[in-house]
Structure 1
């Protein structure tokens, strides 16, 4: 059985190599032929949360009909200029199998969009969740966010900077926790073509950086990276984790040995799950926080730290 799994994994790798897989490359081949978690299923496709062509989302639910289950909104990566929810069904089913009603939204990409358009799209998707997720067995009062790479940036910014959710009438405290996988959180000065074209027109570049919004009111965070990531270096994860800890925010930080940038999303799949215990650790942390196990206020930060899983 192990040999069969290894052979299948090799086939997947060849397919990804043929696609020139990188953070910004499509995952359609992998998503189409890879095995899926049997504990999750697609419940709704292409639900509209806005008027544009990239304002749709998919909903995945546990096979056992959920009732007031925690809701996880996952944002995919792709350097803010590529990507599609349709290539991440393996993530939707994996997270649904862990007990989350899982939402995968699309969002506008460069060159049609620049900062902060994709954050406004993410906030609009969360507003849709608030208004509609109970239909699918989700609890709109218990929302957690997660993302990979550029999607981790989106998730963390939406969790840390309250302006985007407040702009759509959502109390930011409804976000119980956030998970970032290989995310860029502190990238000034803008020193790559990607960041210059996506963020360069911002009037105040400091307002584009998640690091600058970490504080005592930030939600608990699961932050993970791979020690072989040369695309978004592990320093981003370490720096944000340290900033949040300094504000007495519960943090679980993981640096997985042998994983590179793409591995931290592939490790959520059945095929590559043996690479790291990422799915189990992230899901446990988010489920714990969604259950309200950390009750903390500005005047009681020590209790929040003690209650980390």
Structure 2
């Protein structure tokens, strides 16, 4: 495992995290060191592009064939994070009979949006041909992620025209389950030095501030055909709480089903940390979503 210490700058210049985020990063980094059971086939450091962050790890049940697939993007405010932060989920996802794909993606400020979103589409195009090698079905793919990763998952699910541009099949994505996703980047008066201000100074660096709407899932819900299961913590960030509550009725007005799950007592980071428990309700929710879909003959 070559994950840099979360308090250090890595070769991409990831900035120092706030203390609460640093504690989260240390925890998921430590959990990534745990050995995997022999029932799991791990295939790390696969490439989907020339940049060193255009990589993904695959965790599959040994002997899997035509299994459903979960693609889970890490969080980190679009400026930080490692795909290894997702590794601790592998035993629980594979226990559901699913293949887990954990990607990295290019980060701001070196690569402001839409780089992460372009990477997500490129990844799906790659997986469309590569998944059978790990026993995964390219027609049974589910998207998820935590925080900024939830934003990436939601934008990827909603931008159907971009699927066509990247050669992604219309029947590839069967559901989206973002956790504490940031569904609206807009803030009319972000406080100085706040995470909201960083969206404009770093994540959207070089773009007109009005581009915040273009890169917000909230504004892409019209015509959606991907089932959504949104989830967030009772004590999540104000931006997450507000944007998910606003997005739900917009999704429910479309063809696909949509739900919102608020987990009592949890804050922004513990909505992901709770997934270390195999009995976490999110896994049951994922299983229900997968079982609700019948693959075409």
1:246 Cα deviation from its structure 2 partner:
1.6
1:52 equivalenced with 2:56 (yes/no): no
1:240 equivalenced with 2:247 (yes/no): yes
The list of structure 1 runs, each at least 4 consecutive aligned residues, that deviate by more than 3 angstroms after superposition, is 23-26, 200-205
1:217 Cα deviation from its structure 2 partner:
3.1
Q: 1:281 aligns with which of 257, 264, 285?
A: 285
Root mean square deviation, CA, Å: 2.4
1:80 Cα deviation from its structure 2 partner:
0.5
Give the direction of change, closer, same or farther, for the CA distance of 1:217–1:292 in structure 2 (3 Å limit): farther
- Which residue in the other structure is 1:174 paired with? 172
1:187 Cα deviation from its structure 2 partner:
2.8
Q: How many residues align?
A: 268
Structure 2: runs of 5 or more not aligned: 1-17, 191-195
Please, what TM-score do these two structures have when normalized by structure 1? Answer: 0.79
Give the direction of change, closer, same or farther, for the CA distance of 1:201–1:257 in structure 2 (3 Å limit): same
Give the direction of change, closer, same or farther, for the CA distance of 1:240–1:39 in structure 2 (3 Å limit): farther
- Which residue in the other structure is 1:199 paired with? 204
Q: What does residue range 70-85 of structure 1 map to in structure 2 within 5 Å?
A: 70-85=68-83
Q: Distance in 1 between matches of 2:46 and 2:170?
A: 23
- Which residue in the other structure is 2:7 paired with? none
Deviations 1:253-299 (A, max 9, x none): 210100111111111113xx56x5222223322x1344359xxxxxx
Give the direction of change, closer, same or farther, for the CA distance of 1:175–1:236 in structure 2 (3 Å limit): same
Kindly indicate whether the alpha-carbon contact (under 8 Å) linking 2:150 and 2:181 is maintained by their aligned counterparts in 1.
Answer: yes
Please, what TM-score do these two structures have when normalized by structure 2? Answer: 0.82
SS of aligned partner of 1:211: helix
SS of aligned partner of 1:181: coil
Q: What does residue range 93-112 of structure 1 map to in structure 2 within 5 Å?
A: 93-112=91-110
Kindly indicate whether the alpha-carbon contact (under 8 Å) linking 1:73 and 1:143 is maintained by their aligned counterparts in 2.
Answer: yes
Give the direction of change, closer, same or farther, for the CA distance of 1:44–1:30 in structure 2 (3 Å limit): closer
